[in-house]
C-alpha cells in the first residue's frame, strides 16, 4: 500500500534552517510528483511547491521563493524540503503529498512533521 | 493567486442529515477542484477530485458538483465518523490554494 513517511524537524531558533524528509513506499518513486503543504496549528493548508522526482525539476510558491529548496535522492527514494531563515511564522506542520504529473490534487499524504520555531 | 472561500465555516448536523458545503473561487478553476477531509492530528484525506470523481474507497454518500467558480460537496445520510474539517483545493493553476475549511460537527 502507498505510504509517505516523514522524518526530521523539531525545534529551531529564528534564522535557522530546517530539513524535513519524505520517504514514499508502495509505488515507483519517480512516477509521481511530491508536493509540500504546511499547516499552521489550528489554521488552514498552504501549498509550498512541488518536485518532480524523475527530473529534479521544482516549482515553488512565490511566497517561499528564495527560502525553500526541494530535493530528491532517487537512490534512497526520498524527497526533502529545506526551509531557511526561519521565523516564528514558520511554526507549522509540514506535510509531503503525492500527485500525478498532470493533475495536482493529493491522493496520499505523509503523516506531517511539526516544526517549531522558538528562541 | 486564486482565493478559495468556503461556507459555512462551521456546520452542526445530526446523524442521518444531508449537508452541503460550498466553495467559491475568486476566478474560474474550470473543473480542477478537489475536496479533503481532515481529522484532528491527521493528514488530510482525499475525498473527491475533478469536481465529482470519488476517490477509491470513499463512501458514495459523498458527492461533488459545480464548475467554474462555484462548487459544492454534499454528504448524504451523515454518519458519526463524518466529523472533521473539510477543505476544497483548486489545482487549475499554481499556487494551488485551499479554502479556509468547514468544521463539521455531528
DSSP string, chain A: --EEEEEE-EEE-TT--EEEEEEEESS-GGGSEEEEEEE-TTS-EEEEEEE-TTT--EEE-GGGTTTEEEEEETTTTEEEEEE-S--GGG-EEEEEEEE-SS----SEEB--EEEEE--
Interchain pair A59, B94: CB under 8 A: yes
Q: What is the mean pLDDT of residues A28-57?
A: 96
pLDDT band at A109 (very low <50, low <70, confident <90, very high): very high
Asked if B94 is an interface residue toward chain A (Cβ–Cβ < 8 A), one would say yes
Is the pLDDT at B91 greater than 80? The verdict is: yes
| CA A102, chain centre distance (Å) | 19
CA atoms of A8 and A115, how far apart (whole Å): 9
CA-nearest of B2, B12, B1 to B102 is B12
Do A80 and A19 meet the contact criterion of CB atoms below 8 Å apart? yes
Percent of chain B clearing pLDDT 70 (strictly above): 100
The pLDDT value recorded for residue A41 is 85
* Nearest chain A Cα distance for residue B44, angstroms: 7
pLDDT class of A8 with cuts at 50, 70, 90: confident
A25 and B CB contact within 8 Å: no
Query: What average pLDDT does the segment B40-60 reach?
Result: 96
Flag if A106 and B101 touch (Cβ within 8 Å).
no
Query: Does B64 lie at the interface with A, CB-CB under 8 angstroms?
Result: no
- How large a percentage of chain A has pLDDT more than 70? 100
Main-chain phi, psi angles of B67, to 5 degrees: -170, 160
Q: How confident is the model at residue A43, as a pLDDT?
A: 86
Q: Which of A105, A109, A110 sits opposite B89 (nearest CB)?
A: A105
What is the pLDDT at residue A9?
73
pLDDT at B54 over 90: yes
How close, in Å, is residue B98 to chain A by CA atoms? Answer: 6
Is residue A33 within 8 Å of residue A101, measured between CB atoms? yes
pLDDT attached to residue A73: 97
Residue A18, sorted as left (phi over 0), alpha (psi -120 to 50) or beta, turns out to be beta
Q: Within an 8 Å CB–CB cutoff, is residue A40 touching chain B? A: no
Q: What is the pLDDT of residues A70-79, one digit of tens each?
A: 999 999 999 9
Is the pLDDT assigned to residue B21 strictly greater than 80? yes
pLDDT over 90 (residue A42):
no
Contact A45 B43 (CB under 8 A): no
A1 touching B, CB under 8 A?
A: no
Q: What is the mean pLDDT of residues B66-93?
A: 97
For range B26-41, the mean pLDDT: 96
Does residue A10 carry a pLDDT above 90?
Answer: no
Of B32, B50, B98, the CB nearest to A44: B98
Does position A118 have pLDDT exceeding 80, yes or no? yes
Q: What is the per-residue pLDDT for B58?
A: 97
Band of pLDDT at residue B15, cut at 50, 70 and 90:
very high
Amino acid at each position: 500500500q502507498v505510504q509517505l513517511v516523514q522524518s526530521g524537524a523539531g525545534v529551531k531558533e529564528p534564522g535557522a534552517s530546517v530539513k524535513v524528509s519524505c520517504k514514499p513506499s508502495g509505488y515507483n518513486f519517480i512516477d509521481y510528483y511530491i508536493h509540500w503543504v504546511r499547516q499552521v496549528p489550528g489554521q488552514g493548508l498552504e501549498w509550498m511547491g512541488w518536485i518532480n522526482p524523475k527530473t529534479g525539476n521544482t516549482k515553488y510558491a512565490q511566497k517561499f521563493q528564495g527560502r525553500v529548496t526541494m530535493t530528491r535522492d532517487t537512490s534512497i527514494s526520498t524527497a526533502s524540503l529545506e526551509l531557511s531563515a526561519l521565523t516564528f511564522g514558520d511554526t507549522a506542520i509540514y506535510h509531503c503529498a503525492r500527485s500525478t504529473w498532470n493533475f495536482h490534487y493529493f491522493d496520499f499524504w505523509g503523516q506531517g512533521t511539526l516544526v517549531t520555531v522558538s528562541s | 493567486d486564486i482565493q478559495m472561500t468556503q461556507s459555512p465555516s462551521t456546520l452542526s448536523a445530526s446523524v442521518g442529515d444531508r449537508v452541503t458545503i460550498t466553495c467559491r473561487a475568486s476566478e474560474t478553476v474550470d473543473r480542477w477542484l478537489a475536496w479533503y477531509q481532515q481529522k484532528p492530528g491527521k493528514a488530510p484525506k482525499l475525498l473527491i477530485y475533478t469536481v465529482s470523481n470519488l476517490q477509491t474507497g470513499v463512501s458514495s454518500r459523498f458527492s461533488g458538483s459545480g464548475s467554474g467558480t462555484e462548487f459544492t460537496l454534499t454528504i448524504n445520510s451523515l454518519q458519526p465518523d463524518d466529523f472533521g474539517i473539510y477543505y476544497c483545493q483548486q489545482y487549475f493553476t499554481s499556487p494551488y490554494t485551499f479554502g479556509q475549511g468547514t468544521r463539521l460537527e455531528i
